[in-house]
A and B are shown apart, each in its own frame.
Chain A
């Protein structure tokens, strides 16, 4: 109900931020939009001693395109992603996912990078960005490293960050890309999310998220689709065998498998 006590720090440079985040002596958390972090703190599920507010760190608000590469800085909000011309030109599906995410308050304050670092299985952008093999750049005391979005989470709500700050999200959008993103929302958050991508270079790339599981590519489905002769039903059958969604208030395991199968069918039908 009440936020626990914490110290608020506002670094201006990446170096200052990393020094604070990487200080092993104190439990800290990066504070960007706060749309997930503050909620957890109010519920008593997190109580970092130090909140490192990185909204003022120079160089994190950038959003740019270089050829097929799209790069979105850590401080860029969902609303800014939705509105950015570069995103709408190069990867319009990402703009529309950002524009439909959660609610207007979350979109205005929350950031794309923060969403990925939170590792929520219900994340919309994680599914789409996993499908396109996007990556994130992390900076820590030992320098910068690149991690695939698909590998950013060890498990639900558990990212691999090791005293690190996310600098930017990078995605390469190939020529001839066709994209379909489908989701089902029954209550507050998506139950199941499916992203299907096709381009001549990579063939099919298909990711499924939600249903109690983190977004991941489903190679078995991609293989079926890449044969070029598969029917929708073959792909759906391949998918069902790969999902073990947890039963919760949104529905049973069997129902969520059904939803994933339906969404896959809809996504494939849209771009095939």
Chain B
């Protein structure tokens, strides 16, 4: 791995030299395959592994009978997911046994021969069924949930003022329901993990976003000291939330334990889809206006379908309550947000972490209301937008950007004023998400070797987002050396200090600051040693292996070794650890936001009235970056996120039939390719106001570009042809039907 080269890992990835988990091998390694349930909900009454075990090449078959000494349950907040189903299955695709064999093919073929006898239980295919009276409980209810409604994984409520009174007194109440289906991340690399039990403990190589979480989970489940678990995340071929917490690492470690040999488990794409999804979501929203057309109240009721296990569902629901009201000045609001267990694939983190789903509702509603009162949607938003410095929701950290100017810029770029042709329209939406995952605690090790080259160890993972390049630049700038002198090594729990994980757009701000502080500490240490060595006063710099101030040049190791008792040629150089925390008063239910990820999205579309096809002509994505550390990487994140948003808005939808996913493949589930880039392109704007908490005022921007795309599109469709869609994806047939509907497309609204 390298972070110092001008093009970072590009050459290695293009030539195939880059090593991913699927390329990794332990000596003597065997291969695993999972047996998965074909029943959505049922009791496992028998599991016959004899035929599979008798197959050539098969070493063993792991079942829950092998869990002696193992705690088989894991999860982020609630430990409710077993590595293999125990007695009961809760979704189609749930692992129920695991085959270990000499080759992957032998394992896959033998896995088909494991006979599971499953007695079906009544399945709960959606959140309405799951919350229905008398529905079987898949798990005990979680925090905040009403006891009398079954299958509530978590419920959170956030309120200010008196919403009931304000809505009752309102001159106009807009009421509508917005829905979006589950979707999948489709990282290019499917899930892959390897485990090896060696004399010094458990070694794991895994395509994970959170190597330290995985390490700690494995230590707990297998009851071994943390010091005896090493997890390495090599290059990860994209994640977008799908590779956080533990996924298949526990089961592959258990397979290796039983087999007595290292094991690699490489999922097919279809299996990866059956691992974790983005929550399908339904938002019911009431917005009240006074007689001067000012919003006085908003009530939101949000239901996330969280699937069969908690995963990150509880936090998704919790944050959904925080994000649904939107970045507006609304005196009275109330947001209730819940995650509901169903017999579907567990839903979890996905780029934006609930923001995309709830903004789909609130930013669609803003346009609908503006149109109802006859005001330009941009002006209507501007009247209500929080100004820079105003607290978000009245209690959270002040907004750290000029939201109105971002919207203006997006509008200007897509040319809202002059539609170029009939059935063409523009749409805007603004997305604000509390970034950083609430805590910017991070640490990094930095070493300056005797030859003056620099090595950084940090616990973040390189997911293709460019963490290595950014951190290399931060170290190089901090030390005043060429970036080519810096090597950044990521994702190895044996060499890096603890890190919470690569998620929530937190690496640049958290780990970046730790690296910056390590570099600053190193400079101080060098200066102290230099002065103690009698070096000349004045600005000190590192030049190759030498320290230089003015005319005074000395080998760095000579300076550092003085007084250590070690000869300079054996002195190890300088090692420092940088730590950083920017966390404010943890412990409260909604801790203050560290920084806001902001994106104003503008789109111009053409709608074909005859077929309902939406052609996106141009998209502008204006993102608050604070300070750009890597120009190409920053625009890459922004354009990539916008493109991903086009997919999840226009074509992507996981379709279940009787609890079974029927389109878990790339033929029937359409992810946009480069061929679907809008003809007018995606214009990426990175606004630099240096107000972020990261190096040089940087913010994290990994999620910003996706969160406002869907409502901007629906708003543009209404602008173009006058129909309003409230369900994603915006399928052409839905557009066509709306265009041909004579009545019934207006929301339930009350004026007086």
Contacts and interface: CB of A to CB of B under 8 A. Distances in A.
Interface in B109-126: 109
Interface in A44-66: none
Contacts, number: 39
Interface in A227-272: 249, 251-252, 255, 258-259, 262, 265
Interface string A180-204: 0000101111000000000000000
A259 B105 contact: no
B575 interface: no
A184 B733 CA distance: 12
B611 A249 contact: no
B268 A1 contact: yes
Given A188-B670, A262-B611, A251 B655 contact: no
A61 to B, nearest CB: 29
B407 to A, nearest CB: 31
B731 interface: yes
A189 B667 CA distance: 8
B108 A258 contact: no
Contacts of A259: 611
Contacts of A249: 655, 663, 668
A252 B611 contact: no
A251 B729 CA distance: 13
Interface in A1-33: 1-2
A187 B668 contact: yes
A214 B731 CA distance: 24
B733 A255 contact: yes
A243 B517 CA distance: 70
Nearest to A265: B610
B670 A251 contact: no
Most buried by B among A184, A259, A265: A259
B736 A258 contact: yes
Instruction: Please report whether the interface of chain B is mostly helix, strand, loop or mixed according to DSSP.
Output: loop
Contact of A2 (B105, B613, B670): B105
B651 interface: yes
B415 interface: no
Contact of A184 (B108, B611, B667, B737): B611
Contacts of B640: none
A257 B105 CA distance: 44
B732 interface: yes
Given A1-B268, A258-B611, A251 B731 contact: yes
Nearest to A188: B667
Contacts of A265: 610
B611 A187 contact: no
B729 to A, nearest CB: 11
A251 B736 CA distance: 11
Given A249-B663, A251-B731, A1 B610 contact: no
Interface string A147-178: 00000000000000000000000000000000
A186 B732 contact: yes
Contact of B732 (A1, A188, A189, A251): A251
A4 B87 CA distance: 33
Nearest to B732: A186
A258 B733 CA distance: 10
Given A187-B668, A188-B667, A251 B610 contact: no
A251 B668 contact: no
Contacts of A258: 610-611, 736
Contacts of B268: 1
A188 B667 CA distance: 6
A2 B663 CA distance: 19
B611 A2 contact: no
A252 B733 contact: yes
B560 to A, nearest CB: 56
Contacts of A1: 108, 268
Nearest to B612: A255
A262 B655 CA distance: 27
A253 B603 CA distance: 31
Interface string B725-752: 0000001110011000000000000000
A23 to B, nearest CB: 27
Nearest to B269: A1
A255 B666 CA distance: 23
A251 B108 contact: no
B58 to A, nearest CB: 16
A262 to B, nearest CB: 4
Nearest to B112: A44
B674 to A, nearest CB: 11
Interface in B124-165: none
Contact of A251 (B105, B663, B667, B733): B733
Interface string B603-620: 000000011110000000
Nearest to B670: A187
B714 to A, nearest CB: 18
Contacts of B733: 251-252, 255
A1 B109 CA distance: 10
Contacts of B663: 249
A29 B433 CA distance: 55
Interface string A125-151: 000000000000000000000000000
Nearest to B106: A2
Interface string B82-114: 000000000000000000000001001100000
B191 to A, nearest CB: 14
A184 B613 contact: yes
A186 B729 CA distance: 12
Contacts of B612: 255
Nearest to A39: B667
A254 to B, nearest CB: 9
Contacts of A187: 651, 667-668, 670
A187 B668 CA distance: 7
Contacts of B670: 186-188
Interface string B653-672: 00100000001001110100
A188 B668 CA distance: 7
Nearest to B663: A249
A259 B610 CA distance: 8
B108 A2 contact: yes
A142 to B, nearest CB: 37
B190 to A, nearest CB: 11
A255 B738 CA distance: 12
Interface string B590-605: 0000000000000000
Nearest to A192: B611
Interface string A199-238: 0000000000000000000000000000000000000000
Interface in B258-296: 268
A186 B612 CA distance: 11
A40 to B, nearest CB: 12
Interface string A84-110: 000000000000000000000000000
Contacts of A252: 733
A145 B666 CA distance: 39
B367 to A, nearest CB: 25
B295 to A, nearest CB: 37
A187 B736 CA distance: 17
Contact of A255 (B108, B651, B668, B736): B736
Contacts of B731: 251
Nearest to A250: B733
Contacts of B651: 186-187
Contacts of B667: 187-189
A69 B736 CA distance: 42
B687 to A, nearest CB: 35
B129 to A, nearest CB: 23
Contacts of B611: 184, 258-259, 262
Closest 4 CB pairs of A and B: A187-B670, A251-B733, A255-B733, A262-B610
Given A251-B731, A262-B610, 13 more contacts: A2-B109, A184-B613, A186-B651, A187-B668, A188-B667, A188-B668, A189-B667, A249-B663, A251-B732, A255-B732, A255-B737, A258-B611, A258-B736
11 contacts: A184-B613, A186-B670, A186-B732, A188-B667, A188-B670, A249-B663, A252-B733, A255-B733, A255-B737, A259-B611, A262-B610
